[in-house]
């Protein structure tokens, strides 16, 4: 890939048609092409890991992890800091890969790079945290203490919508806490979510065998989940696939962290700043074509404000240009695939057939779906019930705060939400009644921070959290030890 700076990185001669497992090597699974959704152009060719490749990687990772767990915490942190420097040095080339593989605009690439840097910095800081505690002994003269130890090998199954960010979110804390990682990037983004990551850590001096990048489809993911060396699986993706992974991991008594979908509501109370709320609503739904688990899938607006809010939202939608994300002035690129475009189209068409109304947008051009606003939404329509994962804003009216809470909670998901009101006490009180793992006042639904416990409730996950000190719970386990002061009495 040639970036706008003229840099070609990483060197395609090193990784084309290969996987990263003890260095770049030919896999047993052959190769797969990588295409640009905006143009259909062929971007690259990556190796495909088959189950035997995964088994080999798991064995190598388990051996390498033992020495890595004994390394000084500062040594592990230093590798992450060098990887962060590499991310800065090659940011132009990495941004280009993100834009072309995922279909996001350059600003989306910049966001992923900045967020990846935050994840690396936050994880590096964890190396200096205390990992244990002194406990009160159960008998006099006995020492008792507990400390956290690595899990061993962590399997990370990565999505396509924020491939660099989600890779760093899991593997940075996993590595700094002494684990090895098997990373399976999504087939749509195996370079920005896999090859780039492998090259950054290789250049940073991560010891061989600790990170394996294994592109492939469902069979590769299943092999990662079931590999006997893998102690934990971190998965980001759909609730349907998450349930399958949870069953497979549960049968093997493995820890599993699931970050799944969402049907997130932005709630606009009758005393809200309409213009500010509509701007936040537009960003929450239309940003990166709505292809985010934290996107707003419902706009719940007080009946007194529906008309001005909807007009403002339509204005935002109409002003957003759709096209090739590398062109100046484009705000929305393509959705990731024909399958996803057809899904968005189906949800909108079925909802319209049931009585919904399209106020703007609503018709796609290939993979390009315009910002769309719907009203006259009923709670039985697909636009209300299903996660759309596209730039579609269903507007639903309510009359009371109690009704707003009831509508927002009418979903199996529980990831994030936002509440808009000029009264912070009122907004906070309503937010406390929403069954979501995250809630934001007078802001967008799509928030993320490396030091915050990110995760959801219900079908949005299994209660796991990543970010900040929550990573200690995810990527380590407790060990308890006692020591008597003198000879232990014989029973």
What is the mean predicted confidence (pLDDT) over 197-209?
98
269 and 128 fall within a common domain: no
341 and 393 fall within a common domain: yes
Contact (Cβ atoms closer than 8 angstroms) between residue 58 and residue 138:
no
Query: Over the stretch 126-161, which tens digit does the pLDDT of each residue have?
Result: 999 998 999 998 888 889 999 999 999 999 999 999
248 and 383 fall within a common domain: no
Query: Over the stretch 300-314, which tens digit does the pLDDT of each residue have?
Result: 999 999 999 999 999
84's tokens: 């962060």
| pLDDT exceeds 90 at position 484 | no
Q: Is residue 489 part of a domain?
A: no
**CB 274: neighbour CB atoms within 10 A?**
18
pLDDT of res. 490? 60
CATH of the domain at 379: 3.40.309.10
pLDDT of res. 140? 83
| pLDDT exceeds 70 at position 73 | yes
247 and 340 fall within a common domain: no
pLDDT of res. 485? 79
Q: Which of 36, 96, 293, 387 is catalytic?
A: 293
Q: Which of 96, 202, 222, 259 is catalytic?
A: 259
94 and 220 fall within a common domain: yes
CATH of the domain at 202: 3.40.605.10
Tell which residue, 233, 122, 129, has the closest CA to residue 173.
Answer: 122
293 is catalytic: yes
Q: Is residue 104 part of a domain?
A: yes
pLDDT bracket for residue 174 (50, 70, 90): very high
23 and 86 fall within a common domain: yes
Contact (Cβ atoms closer than 8 angstroms) between residue 262 and residue 292:
no
Q: Is residue 491 part of a domain?
A: no
470 and 411 fall within a common domain: no
208 is catalytic: no
Mean model confidence pLDDT for the chain: 96
67 and 212 fall within a common domain: yes
412 and 333 fall within a common domain: yes
| pLDDT exceeds 50 at position 111 | yes
Q: Is residue 323 part of a domain?
A: yes
The pTM is what? 0.94
Contact (Cβ atoms closer than 8 angstroms) between residue 484 and residue 142:
yes
Query: Over the stretch 37-65, which tens digit does the pLDDT of each residue have?
Result: 999 999 999 999 999 999 999 999 999 99
Query: Over the stretch 316-351, which tens digit does the pLDDT of each residue have?
Result: 999 999 999 999 999 999 999 999 999 999 999 999
Show Cβ contacts of residue 70 under 8 Å, excluding neighbours closer than 6 positions: none
Contact (Cβ atoms closer than 8 angstroms) between residue 480 and residue 134:
no
Q: Is residue 24 part of a domain?
A: yes
287 and 237 fall within a common domain: no
Q: Is residue 312 part of a domain?
A: yes
Q: Which domain holds residue 192?
A: 12-260+461-478
Q: Is residue 485 part of a domain?
A: no
**CB 158: neighbour CB atoms within 10 A?**
30
Q: Is residue 204 part of a domain?
A: yes
Query: Over the stretch 251-284, which tens digit does the pLDDT of each residue have?
Result: 999 999 999 999 999 999 999 999 999 999 999 9
**Structural domain count of the chain:** 2
pLDDT of res. 137? 87
Query: Over the stretch 5-29, which tens digit does the pLDDT of each residue have?
Result: 456 899 999 999 999 999 999 999 9
60 and 186 fall within a common domain: yes
Q: How far apart are CA 222 and CA 256, in angstroms?
A: 13
pLDDT of res. 142? 87
297 and 184 fall within a common domain: no
């Amino acid at each position: 890939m040639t970036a706008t700076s003229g840099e070609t990185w990483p060197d395609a001669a090193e990784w084309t048609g290969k996987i990263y497992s003890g260095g770049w090597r030919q896999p047993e699974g052959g190769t797969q092409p990588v295409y640009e959704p905006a143009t259909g152009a062929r971007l690259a060719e990556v190796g495909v890991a088959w189950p035997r490749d995964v088994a080999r990687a798991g064995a190598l990772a388990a051996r390498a992890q033992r020495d890595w767990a004994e390394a000084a915490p500062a040594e592990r942190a230093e590798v992450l800091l060098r990887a962060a420097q590499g991310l800065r040095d090659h940011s132009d080339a990495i941004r280009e890969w993100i834009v072309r593989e995922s279909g996001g605009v350059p600003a989306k690439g910049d966001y992923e790079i900045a967020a990846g840097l935050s994840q690396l910095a936050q994880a590096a800081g964890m190396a200096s945290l205390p990992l244990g505690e002194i406990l009160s002994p159960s008998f006099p003269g006995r020492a008792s203490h507990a400390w956290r130890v690595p899990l061993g090998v962590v399997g990370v199954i990565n999505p396509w919508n924020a491939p660099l960010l989600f890779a760093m979110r899991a593997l940075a804390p996993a590595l700094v806490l002494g684990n090895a990682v098997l990373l399976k990037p999504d087939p749509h983004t195996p370079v920005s979510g896999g090859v780039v990551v492998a090259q950054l850590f290789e250049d940073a001096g991560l010891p061989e065998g600790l990170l394996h990048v294994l592109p492939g489809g469902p069979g590769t993911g299943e092999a990662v989940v079931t590999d006997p060396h893998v102690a934990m699986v971190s998965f980001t993706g759909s609730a349907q696939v998450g349930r399958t992974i949870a069953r497979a991991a549960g049968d093997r008594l493995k820890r599993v962290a699931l970050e799944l979908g969402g049907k997130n509501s932005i709630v606009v109370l009758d005393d809200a700043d309409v213009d500010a709320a509509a701007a936040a609503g537009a960003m929450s739904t239309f940003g990166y074509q709505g292809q985010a688990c934290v996107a707003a899938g419902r706009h719940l607006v007080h009946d007194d404000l529906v008309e001005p809010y909807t007009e403002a939202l339509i204005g935002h939608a109409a002003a957003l240009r759709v096209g090739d994300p590398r062109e100046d002035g484009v705000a929305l690129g393509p959705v990731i695939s024909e399958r996803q475009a057809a899904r968005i189209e189906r949800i909108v068409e079925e909802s319209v057939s049931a009585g919904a109304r399209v106020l703007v947008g609503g018709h796609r051009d290939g993979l390009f779906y315009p910002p769309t606003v719907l009203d006259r939404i009923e709670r039985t329509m697909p636009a209300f019930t299903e996660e759309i994962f596209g730039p579609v804003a269903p507007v639903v009216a309510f009359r009371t705060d109690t009704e707003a809470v009831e509508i927002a909670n009418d979903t199996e998901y529980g990831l994030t939400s936002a509440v808009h009101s000029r009264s912070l006490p009122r907004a906070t009180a309503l937010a406390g009644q929403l069954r979501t793992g995250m809630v934001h006042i007078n802001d967008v639904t799509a928030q993320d921070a490396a030091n915050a416990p990110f995760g959801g409730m219900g079908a949005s996950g299994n209660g796991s959290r990543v970010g900040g000190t929550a990573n200690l719970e995810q990527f380590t386990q407790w060990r308890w030890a006692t020591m008597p002061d003198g000879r232990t009495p014989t029973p």
